[in-house]
Amino acid sequence: MVSKNKENEIGSLHGGRRGTSTTGGRRDRKQASRPAPPPGRSDPLPSTSAGLAPAGPSQAQQSAPATGGTRRMRWSRAMNEDLMRAFYRATGAETGRTGYRAVMHREFLRLLPELIVSEQNLADRFRYIQRSGMFSATELERLRSEVVPEADPTTMEQPISDVLPNVEMVAERPSEADADGTTSQDIEHMRSILEGAILEIRRTPLEERPKLPRLHPNVATRDAIEAANGLLPQYLEGSGDLGETSSILFAAALEVCRYTSAKMPRAGRNIQRDNAKPAWKRRIERRITQARVLIGRLLCFREGNTRPRIMRSVKKAFAGTGVRLFQPDFGQKLTERIDDLKQKVAAWGKRLRRYSERVERYQQNRLFMSDQRKFYRNLERPKLQPTGQRPETANFVAFWRQLWSEPVEHEEGA
Question: What does pLDDT average to over the chain?
Answer: 74
Tell which residue, 331, 348, 345, has the closest CA to residue 292: 345
Contact status, residue 213 vs residue 257, Cβ threshold 8 Å: yes
53 has pLDDT over 50: no
Band the pLDDT of 350: cuts 50, 70, 90.
very high
367 has pLDDT over 60: yes
Q: Is the pTM of this model over 0.85?
A: no
Predicted pLDDT of residue 340: 93
What's the average model confidence in pLDDT over 200-220?
Answer: 83
Going by C-beta distance under 8 Å and a sequence separation of 6 or more, which residues neighbour residue 224? Answer: 169, 190, 256, 259, 260
Predicted pLDDT of residue 221: 86
351 has pLDDT over 90: yes
Predicted pLDDT of residue 347: 96
33 has pLDDT over 60: no
pLDDT digits (tens, 9 = 90+) for 225-278: 888 888 888 888 878 788 888 888 888 888 888 888 888 876 654 444 545 788
Predicted pLDDT of residue 166: 38
Predicted pLDDT of residue 368: 93
Band the pLDDT of 384: cuts 50, 70, 90.
low
76 has pLDDT over 60: yes
Going by C-beta distance under 8 Å and a sequence separation of 6 or more, which residues neighbour residue 29? Answer: 14
End-to-end CA distance of the chain, in Å? Answer: 140
148-154 long-range contacts, CB within 8 A, separation 24+: 148/88, 148/89, 148/92, 148/93
pLDDT digits (tens, 9 = 90+) for 294-313: 999 999 998 888 898 989 98
Residue with the bigger pLDDT between 376 and 189: it is 376
Predicted pLDDT of residue 174: 39
| % of the chain beyond a pLDDT of 90 | 15
Taking the C-alpha atoms of residue 371 and residue 376, their distance in angstroms, rounded to an integer, is 9
Domain map (residue ranges) of the chain: 1-32, 77-150, 174-266, 279-370
Band the pLDDT of 29: cuts 50, 70, 90.
low
63 has pLDDT over 90: no
What's the average model confidence in pLDDT over 306-321?
Answer: 88
Predicted pLDDT of residue 284: 94
Going by C-beta distance under 8 Å and a sequence separation of 6 or more, which residues neighbour residue 211? Answer: 264, 265, 269, 270
Residue with the bigger pLDDT between 52 and 299: it is 299
Predicted pLDDT of residue 31: 52
Q: How far is CA 186 from CA 169, 226, 372, in A?
A: 8, 12, 52
Predicted pLDDT of residue 158: 41
24 has pLDDT over 70: no
Predicted pLDDT of residue 291: 93
What's the average model confidence in pLDDT over 30-45?
Answer: 49
